[in-house]
Structure 1
């Protein structure tokens, strides 16, 4: 843990939340949602629900982070509340889904957005971005916090400008979207529940500051502020952006598309400007991939301090870099790019990530039952935000399991693999400690 002078305030912590939330999902998922829900009104309501659920999660994590003030996010919360196994599984999911699958999704999106400039197929562009950035980080590339703050500012400006232009510019005659209240019944359909998983994925990152509790000044005050302010700001921007996309491009042009921002920008400004917007988004997504390739292996390294299984992969090279972990993560990302579609990886990863945030918020209810009064931040309106979070999460997870069983079962299979890894890790630790215990007994 650093000194107080090294710690960050609420503004920097909020910037971290913004940087994590504004990513691939904001620029890609609307086209997939239109395959499940044809109503623009219902889609905007789903994005509003996504923001509400993210806020409910943010106030829950703010309380968890101040009650259990140690960095690590879900892995720490679940270990302390339930069992070290739950924390290990959360860490396993962070590595295999939170980073590797997120890199794969971002790379696929980059492939779509930059293919018009590179002339390569989206697949080749996606693979090339993962390989080249993994190579770059194998030689000690570092990204300064100043650069990351500039890039975060660029993403905020881009989202705001695209959304504002979408609202202010007149809609083309060809851009048809249903805003009728008659379609409101779609909100409770299985398609809406599945679409909500992709909305949840787009909002993922609202809990980012909870992973670095120990690096925040006065976390009892600044952690809740960062999580709540960041989440509310992004919610407004996301609804603005998706409305602009729908109004300017129309449902027919966006349905099934990944590069929805380019489609909408071309409808607003013409093909040439649309291609430049596509280039800018592609570059910004590349910086996100670079950040995940940099951070993910460090998580493996940190887990190696506690778990034998990860020590081999977390070993540092002569240059002090976690090369094995970098290429392990890169290999998983490449496997997903080669074997899965964007939609499948999105639903698979969204299912697993939402499952573990569900467990963490449920853990707050359990923690409150054991310790009703504790120093620190208290979630406003408890337990209503937690019930809202759990209810919408359970609804979307349940429908996804029924309507998209393959993606859901792949997510559960990942958790089962984590169970096997945990017991292998425990057996390894036991076998290593046994000889030492025998020696101490002889002495």
Structure 2
């Protein structure tokens, strides 16, 4: 009897994961805060294009490292092999404890607030949403893949409808994109630099496909397409979306406003349809939550294959790390109940940015020793141009966060110390015969 081949996901599913991880509420809400300190439309669009370039620079680098190492687990797998197991473990520890649980908690709370559930307990609704999505992803890879593709297609379709409608509908705001003194003054300002940090957060998730590289049919082909194609598509959608918002709403009406998308929808489609926009945004977030729920436990599963402390969370027979999925669910619930996820997002962002910087630096190491395998791996273009751009931008944003959020940075350091303790604890555990047999 011929052995049934394990199911592998398609390139389209990889692109869906990247786009779903990236597209959140930031594109629909942050423009109002950018317009508080900047008024030139061209500087706003420059902001979003630069954010996309930074994300693309990272995607190029991850595609090269990912096709060289070809292991699931993202930074955990890459840093363990390129530097030292401790570097990979600490990166995995951050991802395991808060790296995905905190964004999931934040996105789910946003889902409940946009949907407007009235007097019902928002926290319990958020927990129920995560539970349902987690259950879907415990079935099998085929189910996860289909759910992710369809939910992401819905998200992209809605954004495309808004953009195309905004382009076709007559302009309702006098906008000029003339490059003048005001433009140059704004892009050199501190306000522009601060706004770029938050725009970069809106682009976070561009590396999502690297966490599941072993689940692709053809990682050498699919991983670069998913990372680069997904990032390019989101950059285009984000930039066009801001263009449409600026086209239909005077900057003075948007400055300081959170519900930018709803205001724009009312301008373009009328009040009644505009009121539905909050509900539409909530459904867009389902795809984002799903992508993070799928990807996060793959880090835990990768760690479980090499560290005895986490062996209980290994991938099971159906290729799905069910126990790791439910562990992530529990961590997300704790963060929702305690309400600490917003503070965690700050120090988590610093630690994860450091991990991504190390992965991008690994491209330089690969170029030195990747002679024989050069035809088997993707090679990022214009080396080291994109790597330098990414490293410079990341270093600047990390420095800014450390200076302005010292308390959160200290908490992040304490989390790393705790992770280091669990690393040595895991190494001291007695060998388990079943663990050695399965790894």
Q: Choose the corresponding residue for 1:427, options 422, 425, 430.
A: 425
Count of residue pairs the alignment pairs up: 419
Any residues of structure 2 matched to 1:152-171 within 5 Å, and which? Answer: 152-171=152-171
Q: Choose the corresponding residue for 1:418, options 408, 416, 434.
A: 416
CA deviation vs aligned residue, 1:414-435 (integer Å, no higher than 9, x gap): 24412322223313431535x9
CA contact (8 A) 1:72 1:212 kept: yes
Aligned CA distance change for structure 1 residues 154 and 235 (closer, same or farther; 3 Å):
same
Aligned CA distance change for structure 1 residues 287 and 231 (closer, same or farther; 3 Å):
closer
CA deviation vs aligned residue, 1:180-223 (integer Å, no higher than 9, x gap): 63232222333222222222222222222222222223322332
C-alpha separation in 2, matches of 1:306 and 1:159: 42
Alpha-carbon shift at residue 352 of structure 1 (Å): 3.6
If the length of structure 1 is used for normalisation, what is the TM-score? Answer: 0.82
Matched, 1:199 2:225: no
Aligned CA distance change for structure 1 residues 312 and 13 (closer, same or farther; 3 Å):
closer
Counterpart residue number, 1:365 = 364
CA deviation vs aligned residue, 1:321-362 (integer Å, no higher than 9, x gap): 554442123212443xx3476xx6665554443332122101
C-alpha separation in 2, matches of 1:168 and 1:155: 20
Aligned CA distance change for structure 1 residues 129 and 362 (closer, same or farther; 3 Å):
farther
Q: State the Cα RMSD in Å.
A: 3.4
- Three-state SS of the structure 1 residue aligned to 2:276 is helix
CA contact (8 A) 1:28 1:109 kept: no
CA contact (8 A) 2:266 2:273 kept: yes
Counterpart residue number, 1:241 = 241
Counterpart residue number, 2:437 = none
Aligned CA distance change for structure 1 residues 297 and 62 (closer, same or farther; 3 Å):
closer
C-alpha separation in 2, matches of 1:293 and 1:233: 22
Alpha-carbon shift at residue 176 of structure 1 (Å): 7.6
Aligned CA distance change for structure 1 residues 413 and 368 (closer, same or farther; 3 Å):
farther
CA deviation vs aligned residue, 1:135-158 (integer Å, no higher than 9, x gap): 446867756432322211111111
Counterpart residue number, 2:127 = 131
- Three-state SS of the structure 2 residue aligned to 1:205 is coil
Counterpart residue number, 1:109 = 110
CA deviation vs aligned residue, 1:247-304 (integer Å, no higher than 9, x gap): 3233344344443222221222222111222212212313533553465456435433
C-alpha separation in 2, matches of 1:381 and 1:359: 19
C-alpha separation in 2, matches of 1:293 and 1:226: 18
C-alpha separation in 2, matches of 1:179 and 1:340: 41
Aligned CA distance change for structure 1 residues 430 and 79 (closer, same or farther; 3 Å):
same
C-alpha separation in 2, matches of 1:243 and 1:23: 18
Q: Which consecutive unaligned segments of at least 5 residues does structure 1 have?
A: 437-443
Aligned CA distance change for structure 1 residues 6 and 286 (closer, same or farther; 3 Å):
closer
CA contact (8 A) 1:24 1:285 kept: yes
Matched, 1:21 2:22: yes
C-alpha separation in 1, matches of 2:189 and 2:309: 43
C-alpha separation in 2, matches of 1:314 and 1:326: 16
C-alpha separation in 2, matches of 1:172 and 1:97: 43
C-alpha separation in 1, matches of 2:32 and 2:55: 21
Counterpart residue number, 1:356 = 355
Q: Which consecutive unaligned segments of at least 5 residues does structure 2 have?
A: 317-321, 434-439
Counterpart residue number, 1:85 = 86
C-alpha separation in 2, matches of 1:77 and 1:386: 16
Aligned CA distance change for structure 1 residues 16 and 312 (closer, same or farther; 3 Å):
closer
- Three-state SS of the structure 2 residue aligned to 1:6 is coil
C-alpha separation in 2, matches of 1:325 and 1:110: 18
Counterpart residue number, 1:439 = none
If the length of structure 2 is used for normalisation, what is the TM-score? Answer: 0.83
- Three-state SS of the structure 2 residue aligned to 1:158 is helix
Aligned CA distance change for structure 1 residues 132 and 220 (closer, same or farther; 3 Å):
closer
C-alpha separation in 2, matches of 1:216 and 1:354: 25
C-alpha separation in 2, matches of 1:76 and 1:340: 26
CA contact (8 A) 1:308 1:425 kept: no
- Three-state SS of the structure 1 residue aligned to 2:124 is helix
C-alpha separation in 1, matches of 2:4 and 2:63: 22
C-alpha separation in 1, matches of 2:340 and 2:211: 31
Any residues of structure 2 matched to 1:263-302 within 5 Å, and which? Answer: 263-293=263-293, 295-297=295-297, 299-302=299-302
- Three-state SS of the structure 2 residue aligned to 1:243 is helix
Matched, 1:230 2:230: yes
CA contact (8 A) 1:97 1:349 kept: yes
CA contact (8 A) 1:245 1:261 kept: yes
CA contact (8 A) 1:177 1:247 kept: no
